[in-house]
Structure formats: C-alpha cells, structure tokens
Amino acid sequence: MLSIKNLQASVEEKEILKGLDLEVKPGEVHAIMGPNGAGKSTMGYVMSGREGYEVNEGSVTLDGVDLLGLEAEERARAGLFLAFQYPVEIPGVSNLEFMKAAVDAQREAKGEEAVSSKDFLKMAREACKQVHLPAEFLKRGVNEGFSGGEKKRNEIMQMLLLKPKLCILDESDSGLDIDALQVVAEGVNSQRSPDRSFIVVTHYQRLLDYIKPDFVHVLSDGKIVKSGDASLALELEEQGYNWLTEQREQSA
C-alpha cells in the first residue's frame, strides 16, 4: 500500500530526514517511535505536502501513486490522512462547513455525487458521537477554543468522515488524559480494516497499549534504525532512547 524509499527531506536547508525506508501493507498498523527531533513529525508533513518541506531524494507511493508529485489536497484525495499534533484554530469557518467541503471535494475527485446537507449532518453527528464530542462542536469554528483533548478527538472525527486509506497519527496521544486517550484509540480501532493502514507516531509506549501495532520502528536522526514487533515498544519504554545516542556516538 505505502512505500517510502530513501526519503531525504529538509526544512529551511536543514536536513531532517536522511534516507527513510518504510513499507506498509494493507491493514497493518505501524508505530514510529523515537526521541524528540528525530524527524517523526517531519515525516508526516513531508508526506502530506506541507509548504517549506523540501524533498531532496527518494519516493513515496500510495497504491502506486507518486504522492510527492501531488498537491496537498490531491494527496488527501488519494487517501492520505494526517491527524495533526497541533491542529490549527480557524475562527469563522465552522467545523461542519469545513468537513462538508472536504468530503464533497474527495467524493467529487472519485466521481461520486455530493452528499446532501441533511445526510451529511447526520453522518457528522454520528462521527462526533463516536469520539464523544458534543454535536454543537460542528457549529463552532474549526478547533476554536477547543481543549487539547477536544482538538485531538476532532482530528479523529475528521478521519471517521473521510475514511482514508492511510492514516498517520502524529502524537495523537500527547497531552491527553487516560480517558481521552481511550476515546482516540477506540476511534482508531473502529476504523481498522483489511484495506486501511495506520502509522502511529508517538513518543511514548502508552498509546500502543490501546492501539496494538503490528510493527514498531525506531526513528532516529532521520532514518529508521531498528524495527521489530510490539515488544520493541516495551523495550524502548524501559530503556529510553539514550542507547541511540550512544550508538550514534560509537559509529561516529
């Protein structure tokens, strides 16, 4: 499904990703862990087409489509979804209006008809319910005045409506208490299916108690330095990330 090969990218001429390789098959859940500054968030931004993130080398394909040649909106329509670590607040644009525009645009790209406002409202209310957001949040400005936890749940709510092929969750656990964490995890788990894959980016093992990964990768200094199964996450939890620095120093 997703194939990342030798991805090298920089921000403001600083090299962040230094040859990232990752293969994700349909239905798989991959966790990416690693210390701060390893390039975890950059990976999501580069894949989703954020301005200012320069790709120097490598390729990213989703079901054979070269994502790097597409505009941000085209990548989304190709089935990519990034749940942001820090979702922006957009006063004046309602959550409902935003999601209706997004769903319509994605349906149009697939040659499907737009959903009626009435049906969409029903779908959106259902999605809110699933992530325990009151329906009135649909009327509010996008993320406007939402708490940290509400913003994260709002991201998952969007994912439920957009039904992407590949979801990248960028530290969707940060700043959440255990209840909110479970809500986020339940939302994600409800969407697991044989044709949908997830990349769960996280600093801590905690989220992986609730979203069981098939594979765990350690990202350090812009590339994956170790891969394993779910037990690797527990190992990391115990050892921390200091061994990475030591390893790097030895190899230097």
Give the helix/strand (H/E) hosting 127: helix 117-130
Tell me the per-residue interface mask from 33 to 62 with another protein, x by CB under 8 A, - otherwise: ---------------xxxx-----------
Write phi, then psi, for 140 (nearest 5 degrees). -75, 160
Give the helix/strand (H/E) hosting 137: none
- Is 92 among the residues that bind another protein (CB under 8 A)? yes
- Is 113 among the residues that bind another protein (CB under 8 A)? no
Q: Which of 36, 88, 113, 177 binds another protein (CB under 8 A)?
A: 88
Q: Could you give the CA distance from residue 13 to residue 118 in angstroms, rounded to a whole number?
A: 48
The number of C-alpha atoms within 13 Å of 230 and in the hemisphere containing its C-beta is: 11
Of the candidates 77, 79, 13, 75, the one whose C-alpha atom is nearest the C-alpha of residue 45 is 75
Shortest CB 76 distance to another protein, Å: 4
Shortest CB 15 distance to another protein, Å: 22
Shortest CB 19 distance to another protein, Å: 25
Give Cβ neighbours of residue 180 (< 8 Å, ≥ 6 apart).
Answer: 149, 152, 153
- The one segment of 11-19, 66-74, 209-217, 239-247 that binds another protein by CB under 8 A: 66-74
- Is 114 among the residues that bind another protein (CB under 8 A)? no
Contact residues: another protein, CB under 8 A: 48-51, 71-73, 75-77, 81-82, 84, 87-88, 90-93, 97-99, 101-103, 105-106, 109, 141-142, 158, 162
